[in-house]
Chain A
């Protein structure tokens, strides 16, 4: 049973556009929420992370929005570039493990 639900499964965005990926969770014991980016043939790379006491975190073109009451968090990729084409995973951590969403494949069209 997926503890973290991620949507959409895939999305296509034009260069310069905004990509938005959403995740939802039920387990209130989760205390750390990272996002990972994965290219084919590579391991996931940590992109940005947030803790539940913060509502938003921005690093460069990547922003996490976190809504603790709704148990939802999202990743916004601003000014999307072809190099951003990858699979993105949200995750939530507790009890020494990460629970991952199913992943979103992002394709940025030039």
Chain B
């Protein structure tokens, strides 16, 4: 059974640009969550989607957005990139949601903003 797939694995962008990251969940999983991991702030929740609906959103500026498609694949977008957006962005999938079913993470997308 294939795991959570995130693309691309690495990305270098310039300040002010925008970026789109992609996540393909485990087959059959309908919940997709996104997290930002940095050495200073640790793992922080960005948003969670289930059946194309955002059910929760973390404390990030509006430059961070996401969506989920009917096949459960998800994308997140960051506009007007800032140096502080450099981080490992992780996607996690679960059957119905991370609060009562196991959540499995992908390998992440390492974003570097220069």
Question: Which A residues are within 8 Å of any B CB, using their own CB?
Answer: 2, 31-32, 34, 36, 41-46, 49, 89, 93-103
Contact = CB atoms under 8 A, between A and B. Distances in A.
Given A45-B105, A46-B104, A49-B102, A96 B42 contact: no
28 contacts: A34-B103, A36-B105, A42-B107, A42-B108, A43-B90, A43-B106, A43-B107, A44-B43, A44-B90, A45-B105, A46-B102, A46-B103, A46-B104, A49-B102, A93-B99, A95-B56, A95-B99, A96-B48, A96-B55, A96-B56, A96-B99, A97-B99, A98-B35, A98-B92, A98-B103, A100-B43, A100-B44, A101-B42
A89 B43 CA distance: 9
Interface in B66-114: 90, 92, 97-100, 102-108
Contact of B100 (A32, A44, A46): A32
Interface in B47-63: 48, 50, 55-56, 58
Contacts of A44: 43, 90, 105
B22 to A, nearest CB: 15
A96 B43 contact: no
Given A41-B107, A43-B107, 18 more contacts: A31-B100, A34-B103, A43-B4, A43-B105, A46-B105, A93-B99, A96-B48, A96-B98, A96-B99, A97-B45, A97-B48, A97-B56, A97-B99, A98-B43, A98-B98, A98-B103, A100-B35, A100-B42
Interface of B: 4, 6, 31, 33, 35, 42-45, 48, 50, 55-56, 58, 90, 92, 97-100, 102-108
Contacts of B48: 96-97
B10 to A, nearest CB: 11
Contacts of B103: 34, 46, 98
Contact of B99 (A41, A46, A94, A100): A94
